[in-house]
Amino acid sequence: MERVDIAIIGTGPAGVSAALTAANRNKSILLVGSRDMSEKVVKAHEIRNYPGLPSVKGTEMAAAFRNQLEAMGIRITEGRVGAVYAMGDYFALQIGEEMPEAKAVILATGVVTAKPLPGEKEMLGRGVSYCATCDAPLYRGKETIVVGFSPREEAEAAFLSEVCSKVTYFPVYSEETNLPEKVAVIREKVTGIEQKDGKRIVRTEAGEYAADGVFVLREAVAPDTLVPGLETNGAHVAVDREMRTNLPGVFAAGDLTGLPYQYVKAAGEGNVAAISAAVYLDTKKKEDK
Amino acid sequence: MERVDIAIIGTGPAGVSAALTAANRNKSILLVGSRDMSEKVVKAHEIRNYPGLPSVKGTEMAAAFRNQLEAMGIRITEGRVGAVYAMGDYFALQIGEEMPEAKAVILATGVVTAKPLPGEKEMLGRGVSYCATCDAPLYRGKETIVVGFSPREEAEAAFLSEVCSKVTYFPVYSEETNLPEKVAVIREKVTGIEQKDGKRIVRTEAGEYAADGVFVLREAVAPDTLVPGLETNGAHVAVDREMRTNLPGVFAAGDLTGLPYQYVKAAGEGNVAAISAAVYLDTKKKEDK
């Protein structure tokens, strides 16, 4: 896979805006997200203050963005970025088993508003994982539990059920599940995760469930988990007015950078981040000569 | 005239966005600008990176914004704000001979990219004025010169010609002028303004022209001329990530706050400024109780 100029992570208004502007600046891009666009956008009943799209439904905004990307020849790479590694001169993105490379990165993943589950942070990498595609091989023939925060996570649980001896799924949402029969669905409020007797234990309001591995799957992961070394303020990435983070070559835009959580604010920041990334690349190129 | 919650100065993407969001937050607003919207927008041949409006002409964007304001019941007050005065608890805006009041102000006037004419700053208020409507009475029966930076300024020159004994107009643009016969149009490059023998002298590449008063008319005036005490960085207003200026209750958005000069960046900032202004008002209201 060729090394692109700018990897853009997220397909909400910030990511879409960054992609449009980066493409306009003749930068090669890798736009990682979902062809369903941002779940938050799609779920919006009506957006009344986005200039240019009067009283638009979330689904209409998502369709408008998708069509605009297509018209510009910008492809969405379906996937979830598990981690971004700074490799000195470039960045490597872990997307499932792929490791595409980029010279600069724009984080537009949205914000994680939910607090982590008790025990989740402590056990991350020790029996708790955020990426089924990445870590499924560790649990071949073993038992796993999936805590899914949106219906989109069901695909991951279904995939795990092909590999694991048993998969138990806890939906943290009200929609009906649509999962293979092999996956046991339990609707109980998850209250925490812990270690016990060499097993991972998921506690709920009603009981305890043991497994070899636990997957906690959300649309967005905490930014400092995604990019080691990233400076954050709580759930937000620290940025300046140019959308630069503390890491050279890493920019952020949208809800991830802080309040207000507004569509046009996110789109504006995506634009600024793309221009800052382009300037960063152009300056670097000159310096390298 | 009732005191509104938020005065928004400018009808480009930043001002429009601020108005939509402020109205959504149930704040009363005064939106001052032009029903032709922003001249910069209207003149744009094609805008390729505004999310939601693919490959849009400037005129189409302006029409979309205007229709959206109308649909929300937001009226544009035609006019040019000559100055914003902080009155302690509120702000007074000088618009011609009107002096509407607002509890908070959002500056979205665009940026003055042209340097002032040599002598212009020094002579401001001493025979040089930025506002024909405000200062015409000073030159009743006298001779004036108008340096107009866009065809929109012609209306001001026409108005002056009803009051002054003689008006000479220097267009700083290539379009044909459309002025009353009484106004003499001279197409020479203006190189400076000075005092001489109790008269104001406009120098051009070809000669010198004397008058009692000189009007220099641009779409936007320098922000620290508009709002005394405002902290600026060159042509830009200093703002933080919440679009707050150094003056409590005064916010800024769009090109005025700095690069990049991009439509969606401006719209995003207008949104943030409106929310910050609403928060400012709500906090103040609580404190006043």
**A276 to chain B, closest Cα gap in Å:** 9
Type and span of the H or E element at B63: helix B58-71
Q: Which of B221, B209, B207, B201 minimizes the C-alpha distance to B184?
A: B209
Inter-residue contact A153 to A167 (CB < 8 Å): no
Confidence at B19, pLDDT banded by 50, 70, 90:
very high
Q: Of B26, B264, B269, B279, which to mutate for an interface test with A (greatest number of A Cβ within 10 Å)?
A: B264
Is A24's CB within 8 Å of B55's CB?
no
List CB contacts (< 8 A) between A266 and chain B. 268
List CB contacts (< 8 A) between A13 and chain B. 51
**A264 to chain B, closest Cα gap in Å:** 5
Q: Is B59 within 8 Å of chain A by CB?
A: no
Token pair in block for residue B174: 């290539």
CA distances from A205 to A176, A187, A188, A190, B125 (A): 20, 10, 7, 7, 74
CA distances from A165 to A20, A57, A79, A156, A284 (A): 44, 42, 25, 15, 50
pLDDT in tens, B154-178: 988 999 999 999 999 999 999 999 9
- Of chain A, the percentage scoring pLDDT greater than 70 comes to 99
Question: What is the ipTM, given to two decimal places?
Answer: 0.78
Looking at the DSSP bridge assignments, the partners of residue A41 are: none
pLDDT above 70 (res B1): no
List CB contacts (< 8 A) between A268 and chain B. 262, 264-269, 271
- Helices A13-24 & A58-71, crossing angle to 10 degrees? 20
Mean pLDDT, to the nearest integer, of B184-200? 94
Interface A–B counts its CB contacts (< 8 A) at 121
d(CA A87, CA B138): 68
Is A51's CB within 8 Å of B24's CB?
no
Inter-residue contact A105 to A7 (CB < 8 Å): yes
**A68 to chain B, closest Cα gap in Å:** 6
List CB contacts (< 8 A) between A58 and chain B. none
List CB contacts (< 8 A) between B265 and chain A. 268-269, 271-272
Query: What is the rounded average pLDDT for all residues in chain B?
Result: 92
Is A68's CB within 8 Å of B54's CB?
yes
**A77 to chain B, closest Cα gap in Å:** 19
Q: Of B16, B47, B244, B271, which to mutate for an interface test with A (greatest number of A Cβ within 10 Å)?
A: B271
pLDDT in tens, B66-107: 999 999 999 999 988 989 999 988 999 998 788 999 999 999
The total of other beta-carbon atoms located within 10 Å of residue B89's CB is 11
Q: Is B45 within 8 Å of chain A by CB?
A: no
Inter-residue contact B4 to B30 (CB < 8 Å): yes
Q: Which residue has the tokens 């600069």?
A: A104
Q: Which chain A residue's Cα is nearest to B20?
A: A49
B64 closest CB neighbour out of A20, A52, A55: A52
Is A53's CB within 8 Å of B52's CB?
yes
**B265 to chain A, closest Cα gap in Å:** 4
Q: Of A11, A24, A49, A68, which to mutate for an interface test with B (greatest number of B Cβ within 10 Å)?
A: A49
Q: What is the pLDDT of residue B225?
A: 85
Q: Indicate the residue type of A124.
A: L
List CB contacts (< 8 A) between A21 and chain B. 49, 262
Give exposure, B257-266, as e/b (b: 16+ Cβ within 10 Å).
bbebebbbbb
Higher pLDDT, A61 or B130: A61
Can you give the pTM of this predicted structure?
0.81
Token pair in block for residue A73: 């020849």
Confidence at A130, pLDDT banded by 50, 70, 90:
confident
Higher pLDDT, B230 or B121: B230
pLDDT above 70 (res A1): no
SS3 A177: coil
d(CA B67, CA A66): 24
